[in-house]
Each structure stands twice: as C-alpha cells, then as structure tokens.
Amino acid sequence: MRSASAEGPFPEYAADLHIHSVLSPCADLEMSPKAVVRRARQAGLSLVALTDHNAAWNAPALRDAAGEAGLHALYGMEVRSQEEADVLCLFDDLEVALAWGREVYATLPDIPNDPLLFGDQVVVDRDETILRVEARLLINAVDIPLGRIAQETAARGGLAVPVHVDRPVNSLISQLGFPPEGCPFDAMEISPFGRAEEMRARHPWLRGFPLVRFSDAHALGEVGRQRTIFRVRAPSIREIRMALRGEGGRSFR
Amino acid sequence: MGYASDLLSDVLANARPGGLWVTLQTNRNVAAVAGLQELAGVLITGGRQPQEDLLEVARDQRVNVLSTPLSTYEVVGRLYALGVR
C-alpha cells in the first residue's frame, strides 16, 4: 500500500467481506481460514472476513492466518434473523465479534446438526487442525428480529449489511419486503445475479443505501468473485462506514 | 397431520413427525428439514416447481414431494375439510 496524506488520496483495499468457512455446514470442507486467506491473496484481495452462519468460531484462526499472510481481516458472521433474513455483522475487534456471536448463538434453537443432511460444522485453528465440531445446527434462524440485530450490531461498533437483497430466498426483500423504519443498516449487498439499476427501479427505497458486492463464497474458487474496493485510511469499521457514506475523502466502488 | 409454514426454522421447531408440510419454498433445505423432522411429505403450492437438488435430497431421505397449482390457503382449507388435521 502506498502511504496516504491526512486528507488523501487514501489507499485502496479490495475487500470480500462475505465468505463462508468450514464452520458453515453449506461450505466446502476445503474452506479453512488458512486456505481462504491463501486464495484471497491469489485473487488480489487485501481485506477479508469470514461470515459463517450465526457463529464466529473460526474468526481467531482467520486473525492468525491473515496476520501471517499480511492480509487484513474483519470479524463477524452472517446472522439469520427471526424472519429468516440474512444479515452480515462485521467488526474490527475480534473479542467484540466473538461476544456478539455468543449472544446470537444463545438464541439459536438447540437442534442437533445432521452432517449427512446439512454438512459438517468444523472449528479449526490457523494450521487447519480441527479443534471441535459444532453440534448445534447453525443453518437456522436465531430468535432476534432483523431490526434488533442491526441495532445491537451498531451499538457494538459494527456494520450491519443485509445480504443478497436481490435474491428470492433469505433476503431482506424476500422476507420483509423492505427495511423496517429506522433500521441502522450501513449498506445493502447484491448478489452476482443482481443488477443495481434494475433493483433501484423496482425498489426505490434502495436508493437511500450504498450497494456493495461480495462473493458469498462457499467454495475456494468463489472467493473474490465479487468484491468491493474501499478507499480508506485503514481497513477499520469506522473508516469503511465513512467510505460508504462518502465522508472525509473516503469512498468505495 | 398437516403443518403450513414458509419458515424452515418454524418447521424445525414445530412440525411433528409423520405430518404433511405445506409450503411455497422450493429449495434443497426443504427436503433436508423434512428428512430431519421425519415428515411424511412436502406439498409445494402455487404451481411452483421443486428445485432439482430438493428432489435429490428427497430421494435420499425418502421424503414424498407433491405439488399443487392451488395457493397454500386454498389447499390447506381443502385438506383440513377432508380431515387432515
């Protein structure tokens, strides 16, 4: 990265902040944090996050693996709200992310996973050593409404981004139609299939939100297939929020 | 026995084994949840077609998959009147 002056222009960070790891039952077993980091570097990314369903147990391994590889990382998860709408909760503080993960997990119904039906849910370390297998089915809805997930995330200094809003399943649009009044969402994510202008035409309220694109990778080859470039002083939540709002010379594309 | 719901989390929490699940959802997880809950079958409404991977999982799990052009409301009304409670 080239160094930046106090006012900019700031460096660019190519970010993919919606990636699943081996902890999500629907993700490939090859998606260890170490492998994701390697693939992210190959794909020219400089900032990643692992956003597993309703859990952040592989975030510590991401911190370690990313640190070793000189890649930046944010920490969080993809929470499935009570209404079954999925939303990214992203933090730059690992402990805050883990604490929110514990709160979310506490409201996840205690239904055991069946790995043959849903896939494996594995917690690993930086070297891909299996630490434990998560027994509770993660691909379920937690008992927290979408609006409150957004509020709690914001209160903890994180970013809340409803995912693939253009998709007909598990999206804010499919489940709620439009965002409840006053929800502190920082951006809306659209999928590789989504066309921004068409979405804005059909859902005028979308014009009030920055639109971002990430991969939603469930396999290594998908990492970085969509990305958002943030022009910020540093890859922190505070800076990214400024970029999303176009404040202080920060921007995104 | 019947249960009508489009939220998989709701079915996981409340549907009883051996029941018929009525939904408009067509994705693979519908069959996975039906298998987990040991449901008799899934009835997909509104003329929607199950996705191919739903059928694959349903075959593995021996879950019956039915469809109807009727809406959920109408087909549930008819089933209930026929004594499917």
Give B12-37 pLDDT, tens digit per residue: 999 999 999 999 999 999 999 999 99
Residues with Cβ within 8 Å of residue A98, at least 6 apart in sequence? A56, A59, A60, A75
How many pairs of residues across A and B have Cβ atoms under 8 Å apart?
Answer: 32
Nearest CA distance, A82 vs chain B (angstrom): 8
What is the Cα–Cα distance from A215 to A191, expressed in whole angstroms?
8
Q: Is residue A14 pLDDT above 90, yes or no?
A: yes
Is A141 within 8 Å of chain B by CB?
Answer: yes
Tens of pLDDT along B42-82? 999 999 999 999 999 999 999 999 999 999 999 999 999 99
pLDDT tens-place string over residues A171-192: 999 999 999 888 999 999 999 8
- Nearest by CB to residue A111, choosing from B12, B35, B61, is B12
Select from A63, A10, A6 the least CA-distant residue to A234: A10
Give B63-74 pLDDT, tens digit per residue. Answer: 999 999 999 999
Q: Provide DSSP, A95-155.
A: HHHHHHHHHHHHTS---B--HHHH---EEE-TT--EEEE--B--SS--SS-HHHHHHHHHH
pLDDT at A119: 95
Rounded CA separation A183/A190 (Å): 18
Any chain A CB within 8 A of the CB of B35?
A: yes
Contacts of A140 in chain B (CB under 8 A): 8-9, 12
Mean pLDDT for the stretch of residues A208-220: 98
Q: How far is CA A81 from the centre of its chain?
A: 14
pTM: 0.92
Cβ distance A117 to B61 less than 8 Å, yes or no, reads yes
